[in-house]
Amino acid sequence: MMSKLRIAFAVLMVGALAACHSGVKLDDNANKGGAVQTTQPNPTDVAQVNVDPLNDPNSPLAKRSVYFDFDAYSVKDDYQPLLQAHAQYLKSHPERHVLIQGNTDERGTSEYNLALGQKRAEAVRRALSLLGVQDSQMEAVSLGKEKPQATGHDESSWAQNRRANLVYQQ
C-alpha cells in the first residue's frame, strides 16, 4: 500500500512540474553578445491628445458660476475675465450651446425668486452677447430657489446659492 502511495505522489509531482513549463523558448545566446540593447521612446512618436478646454480643470472655463449680491442681478466686474473666456470659447465653437441657469437663495417667495433668477440669467446672457456670442448659442432660464448648491440656512450658504450657472450642451 505504501509503495502505491509513493508512486501516486511521484506521478502527481511530475504532473505538477510539467504544468509549470511555460512553452516559451528562451534565447540562450541573449547575454553572450555583451551589451543589452534597449529602445528609448521617441517623444515625437507620442500621440498628441487634444483636450476640450471645458474638460480641463486648469482652464478658466472650469469655473462656470457667476455669483450675485443679495437681491441683485448686476454682474460684478470681478467676473469679466471669466465671461470673456467663456465668450471666446463660444465664439470659436459655434456649434456649442450654453444654458444659463439663474438661481437664488431660499429667502423670498417662489414667484419673486423665479423672477430674480431669470434676471440673473438674462444679465449673464447680455454680458456674453456684448462680448460677441451669438444669441442662438445661449438660453437663459430661472431655477429660482429650487436647486440650491448649499443647503444650509446661513449667510454663507445663501451666498453660494445666489448665482448663475453656465451649463454647456452639445
Closest CA to 144 of 50, 73, 93: 73
- 114 lies in a domain? yes
pLDDT of residue 15: 60
Q: What pTM did the predictor assign?
A: 0.70
pLDDT of residue 55: 83
pLDDT of residue 142: 98
pLDDT of residue 154: 96
For the chain, the domain total comes to 1
Beta carbons of 124 and 84 less than 8 angstroms apart: no
The domain that holds 130 is classified in CATH as 3.30.1330.60
Q: Can you read off the three cell numbers belonging to residue 101?
A: 441657469
Beta bridge partners of 141: 101
The residue segments making up the domain with residue 82 are: 74-169
Weakly modelled stretches of the chain, pLDDT under 50: none
Q: Can you read off the three cell numbers belonging to residue 67?
A: 455669483
Q: What angle do CA 37, 41, 44 make, to 5 degrees?
A: 145
- 60 lies in a domain? no
- 54 lies in a domain? no
State the DSSP H helix or E strand holding residue 97, giving kind and residue range, or none if neither. strand 97-103
- 162 lies in a domain? yes
